Structure 1
Amino acid sequence: MSFLQDNLVTDSLNQVQQQAVQLAPAVEDQNLIQLLMKGGWIMIPIVILFFIGLVIFIERYITIRNASKSDGNLMAQIKSNVLSGKLDSAIAVCRSSNSALARMLQKGLTRVGRPIRDIEGAIENAGKLEVSRLEKNINILGIIAGIAPMLGFVGTIFGVIQIFREVEIAGGIDIGTVSGGLYVKMIASASGLTIGILAYIGYHILNMMVERLILKMETEAVEFIDLLDEPGV
């Protein structure tokens, strides 16, 4: 009896090893795209959200970075021309720079001769317009950060519903089918959460860049107004 039991245990172990060897190549052969596609149809909108967020982040990052590039001589040239009474030359300097700060100061230069309050209002309005241009589409990243995880959870829920429906039809629970199905459906949740986190990070990175630029523009605007308050201007 002991001999027969040993043979049965040995045969069982051999069968398990053979099954593991057969399953291992199938798992190893799966690439990332094939693994993601196992998440079901819900992966299509999740992937679309990923590419939309990526395009928006890259485009806004480049735009804000270019707008943040500082011309160290800009304010010095404007100050020199204003103190010399050469307003046209100061406006020409702003036009040649073609940056958010230069366009804002140019709007103030065109109002020189009017009350300071009018000049401040013109600069403030121009600054708001520039900030609105910089913040364009950034809120979409915030929307993606909220929607992507929810889509992932929806995919998982539909997957669980499908698994229990198959169990009901089969009339019994196969732990391999249930665990395998859950493994596949959890891909949707993992993908949605990952894309949501990336979109959330990108959203705050761009907002921080815009805030730094706003602070810089406000500082230069105050310096420009102080310049106009100097005697002889």
Structure 2
Amino acid sequence: MLYTQADSLAVAQDAAANAEQPVEKTLSIWELLTSGGLGGQLIMIVLGILFFVAIYIFIERLLALKAASKIDKSFMNQIRDHVVHRRFDSAKLLCQHTNSPVSRLVEKGISRIGKPLADINTAIENAGKLEIYSLEKNVSILATISGAGPMIGFLGTVYGMVLAFHEIASGGGQIELDVLASGIYTAMTTTVVGLIIGIFAYISYNYLVVKTDKIINQMEVTATEFLDLLNDPV
């Protein structure tokens, strides 16, 4: 009997010790993102839309710029050979089969051969402006998202803080600290998400700008080379 009572006492003590230990509170990412009330959830939806738009534009422009930067290194040598031997139709056909901004500029110049050089230069410049516009399509949206994302996230944080202090005022200053802390870290989540989106959009924008500038430089070099060829085709 004594052994049984001692056993029961040990079990009771273990149970009491386990009951006194604080239970670790876990929170999934999804719960963290959706626990900000209706206003916080709406802000998260807006941030999510901005994030997917930024990803789509970055991938679409990256593929487009990659395709635009591809050009055969012997392209201008073949164009030079065709122009020197006055095979203009063959030169146009080569440009049409080479789908790139550089080939379209050269094709525009070839179509103006026979006119004053200034007119050819103007035609190439106008075609170049259209190509640059096409290369920079939607890239400015990334710049907008890089600035708007953090601001929208900060708006969510301010909204959450207003609600938290409203709870304090409504409770007459007797609100529990864990409830207040929960509201604050939920509010801060929108700023974190907004900053992540802004950083991604900012880096993506600058990367695409660098890629675009390389293609534009390539276009300028090719245009100059083509005009020099018309000045002295032999």
Correspondent of 1:178 among 165, 177, 180? 180
What residue is the counterpart of 1:68 in the other structure? 69
Q: Shift in Å at residue 38 of structure 1?
A: 2.7
Q: Which deviations, in whole Å up to 9, do the C-alpha atoms of 1:150-209 show, x marking residues without a partner?
A: 111111111011111111222214221111211111110000011011001111111111
Q: Shift in Å at residue 15 of structure 1?
A: 5.0
SS where residue 112 of structure 2 aligns?
coil
Task: Read off the aligned partner of 2:225 and give its amino acid letter.
Answer: E
Q: Shift in Å at residue 33 of structure 1?
A: 2.9
Q: Which deviations, in whole Å up to 9, do the C-alpha atoms of 1:109-135 show, x marking residues without a partner?
A: 001111111111111111110010110
Contact persistence 1:38–1:185 (CA under 8 A): no
SS where residue 52 of structure 1 aligns?
helix
Contact persistence 2:83–2:233 (CA under 8 A): no
> Given the superposition, is the C-alpha separation of residues 211 and 175 from structure 1 closer, same or farther in structure 2, using an over 3 Å criterion?
same
> Given the superposition, is the C-alpha separation of residues 176 and 54 from structure 1 closer, same or farther in structure 2, using an over 3 Å criterion?
same
SS where residue 114 of structure 1 aligns?
coil
Task: Read off the aligned partner of 1:38 and give its amino acid letter.
Answer: S
Structure 2: distance between partners of 1:87 and 1:216 = 23
Residue pairs, 1:27-42, within 5 angstroms: 27=27, 30=28, 32-39=29-36, 40-41=40-41, 42=43
Cα RMSD, aligned residues only:
1.9
What residue is the counterpart of 1:90 in the other structure? 91
Contact persistence 2:61–2:208 (CA under 8 A): yes
Q: Shift in Å at residue 36 of structure 1?
A: 2.0
Task: Read off the aligned partner of 2:232 and give its amino acid letter.
Answer: E
What residue is the counterpart of 2:223 in the other structure? 221
Percent identical pairs in the alignment equals: 42
What residue is the counterpart of 2:7 in the other structure? none
Q: Which runs of 5+ in 2 are unaligned?
A: 1-14
Task: Read off the aligned partner of 2:185 and give its amino acid letter.
Answer: Y
Residue pairs, 1:20-169, within 5 angstroms: 20-21=23-24, 23=25, 26-27=26-27, 30=28, 32-39=29-36, 40-41=40-41, 42-169=43-170
Structure 2: distance between partners of 1:173 and 1:133 = 57
> Given the superposition, is the C-alpha separation of residues 12 and 191 from structure 1 closer, same or farther in structure 2, using an over 3 Å criterion?
farther
Equivalent residue pairs, number: 216
Q: Which runs of 5+ in 1 are unaligned?
A: 1-10
Task: Read off the aligned partner of 1:129 and give its amino acid letter.
Answer: L
Q: Shift in Å at residue 13 of structure 1?
A: 7.5
